[in-house]
Structure 1
Amino acid sequence: MSIRLNYPQLSSEAYQSLLALSETQKNYSIDRSLIELVKIRVSQLNGCLFCLDLHIKEARTLGERELRIHHLSIWHESSLFTEKEKAALEWAELLTRFNSKGVEDAEFDKARTFFSEKELSDLTFAIGIINMWNRFGVAFRNKPGSLDKIFGVDKIGLV
C-alpha cells in the first residue's frame, strides 16, 4: 500500500499545526498509557492501520501489556481494565461514533465520576486529535511503520 498523496507537503501549514497540537498531549493530566489505549481503540473503530500500528508500538514502549492491547476490541467484557480505563474507552467510543442524540447527560455524568474537568477536557482533545489523524491515514493510506524511527518506536522490535 502506498500513500495516495503527500498531504504533509501539500497542506504544510495545517499539517504543522496538527503536529504541534499533537505535541501538547505530552503535558496532559491523564496517564500517557491510558491515552495510548484510547488512541488504539479509536484507530480500531476508524480502521486506520497506520495509527493502530503506531499507537500499539507507543503503548508497548510505555510498558503496556500485550494482552490488554489484544483485549481492547472487547474492553466491555474484559476484566483487565479498571473502571476508569473503561470510562475513558466508553467516552472515546461515544465521541468517535456519534449518534443523532450526541452525548447524553448520563454518559457525560458517568465520565465525570472518573475524570476531573481538566482530565475530561484533555481526554476529549486526545480523542479529537486521533480522530483527525485517522481521517488522514484512512484517506491517504499512510504506510504503517514508515515513521517508527521518528517516533522512537523502532527499538522495541515489533515488526
Structure 2
Amino acid sequence: MTQRMEIGKLVPEAYRAMAALDRFATQSTLPKGLLDLVRLRASQLNGCVYCVDMHSTDLKDAGEADNRLHALTVWQEAPFFTDKERAALALTEAATKLTTDDVTDEVWDRAAEHFSEQELATLIVAIATINAWNRIAVPTRMTPESYK
C-alpha cells in the first residue's frame, strides 16, 4: 500500500498537538512499558500497521520479552502479564471498542484498584491519544517504519 498523505506536513499544528498529548503521557508517572503495551494493544484492535510496528519495536528495543509481545493479543489467557497490566489492557480494550460495548463498572473499578486518580486520568488520555493516532494512520495508510 502507498501512503495517501502526510498529515504532519499538511496540518503541522494538529500533528504537534497530538505529539504533545503523547509527551504528556510519556512524561507522567505511568511506566513507559505499560504505556507502550496499551498503545500496542489499541493499535492491534484498530488494525494500525504503522502503530503496531512502532510500539512493538519500541517495546522490543526496551527489552520486552518476546513471549509477552507475541501473547499480547491473547493477554486474558496468557500468564505473562501483571494484574496492573491486565487492568490497563482491559480498560484499553473497553475504551477502544466503544462502538460495541461500554467501559463497565467492573473494568473501571479494576483499573481504579491499580492506578491513582491522576494515573487513571493519564491512562485515559493515553488510550484516547493512541486511538486518535490510529484514526489518522489507518485512513492515510502511514507506512511502517516511516517514523524512523
* TM-score bracket, shorter-length normalisation: over 0.9
Q: Deviations over 1:15-60 (max 9, x none)?
A: 1111122122221121110111111100000000000000001111
1:62 Cα shift? 1.6
- Aligned 8 A contact 1:42 1:93 in 2: yes
User: Which range moves more in the overlay, 17-26 or 119-128?
Assistant: 17-26
SS of structure 1 residue aligned to 2:78: coil
1:101 Cα shift? 6.2
Look up the match of 2:22.
22
1:100 Cα shift? 6.5
Residue identity over aligned pairs, in percent, reads 39
Look up the match of 2:130.
130
Work out the CA distance in 2 between the residues paired with 1:141 and 1:100.
24
Q: Deviations over 1:86-120 (max 9, x none)?
A: 11100000100015663232321111111111111
RMSD (Å) for aligned C-alpha atoms: 1.4
- Aligned 8 A contact 2:30 2:119 in 1: yes
- Aligned 8 A contact 1:35 1:126 in 2: yes
Q: State how many pairs are aligned.
A: 148
Look up the match of 2:39.
39
Q: What residue ranges of structure 2 are gaps of 5+ in the alignment?
A: none
Look up the match of 1:11.
11
User: Partner letter of residue 86 of structure 1?
Assistant: R
Work out the CA distance in 2 between the residues paired with 1:86 and 1:3.
34
TM-score (ref. length: structure 1): 0.88
Are positions 1:94 and 2:94 aligned together?
yes
Work out the CA distance in 2 between the residues paired with 1:82 and 1:9.
40
Work out the CA distance in 1 between the residues paired with 2:139 and 2:101.
27
Q: Deviations over 1:92-150 (max 9, x none)?
A: 001000156632323211111111111111111111110011011111001100112xx
Work out the CA distance in 2 between the residues paired with 1:14 and 1:122.
20
TM-score (ref. length: structure 2): 0.94
Look up the match of 1:84.
84
User: Partner letter of residue 131 of structure 2?
Assistant: N
Look up the match of 2:63.
63
Work out the CA distance in 1 between the residues paired with 2:67 and 2:101.
34
User: Partner letter of residue 139 of structure 1?
Assistant: P
